[in-house]
A = this chain, B = another copy of it.
Amino acid sequence: MTADRREAINQYIQSRGEVRLKELEQRYTDVSSMTLRRDLEFLERQGRIVRIRGGAKSLAHLSMLKEAAYTQRQVANTDAKLVIADKAIRLLSPGRSVYIDSGTTCMCFAQRLPDQNLFVLTPAPNIALELVKNANVKINLTGGQLNRETLTLSGFNAIEYVKALNIDLAFVAASAFSLPNGFTCGDYFEAELKRLIIRKARQVVILMDASKLNSNMPYTFARLQNIYALVSDILLPDEYQKAARQAHVLLL
């Protein structure tokens, strides 16, 4: 069916960010390349992708790049972030009240979020906008002052809002982790918010790719014993596994 194929192609582009016509030709040997071109043309008219020479790109992916350009940050380790996001998704269930932190890892997570009945609180306006496409998700932003580096809201208003809400499950990103200092980040106000979230949430899940291991940032916001699960892209080295076991932390 035409519509199905187009949907599948769109999915593929959204998840990979980009596709070459060659790839599609290999994937869909039963239709001609002209048909695939027409599919891309169709999706472009829908405003879901942009065609580039030799293929097409996802708009969502492009806006992530745009943010990266603004914040002078590159989207590093995309594969790792996808792995983490997919593992973390499994911890969800419908009807929950969840907190989704800011950062590119959490953005990946948000993009993968199934469209089920959820209450979401986030301090990241870009993540909030990403979630608009999930019709069943109630989206709440903390409010506060926007840090243009991290695209994160923080400050007294954020704090007040979090205090007033109940969170089942908090997905929190960490900029760095080491055994002596625990989970750390680089902004005082963001650390303050994270600490509050971690105190208030029933279960805390840290999302962190392995490149953050054994490094430190100025502000500690959590230790192993404060969290429920730690989701990473690879199996952690032995010493970390041991520490996690001692602290009864689920490793994913």
Residues of A within 8 A of B (CB): 46-48, 50-53, 57, 59-60, 62-63, 65-71, 125-126, 128-129, 131-133, 135, 138-146, 148, 151, 153, 156-158, 160-161, 164
Task: Give the contacting residue for A57; candidates B50, B63, B68, B138; CB below 8 A.
Answer: B50
Q: Which residues of B contact A52 (CB under 8 A)?
A: 50-53
**Which residue of the partner chain B has the closest CB to A47?**
B69
Q: Which residues of B contact A46 (CB under 8 A)?
A: 69
Q: Which residues of B contact A146 (CB under 8 A)?
A: 128, 131-132, 139-141
Q: Are A59 and B48 in contact (CB under 8 A)?
A: no
Minimum CB–CB distance for A187 against chain B, Å? 15
Q: List 11 A-B contacts (CB under 8 A).
A: A46-B69, A50-B52, A52-B53, A53-B53, A59-B62, A59-B63, A63-B63, A131-B146, A143-B143, A143-B157, A157-B160
Q: Which residues of B contact A57 (CB under 8 A)?
A: 50
Q: Which residues of B contact A138 (CB under 8 A)?
A: 145
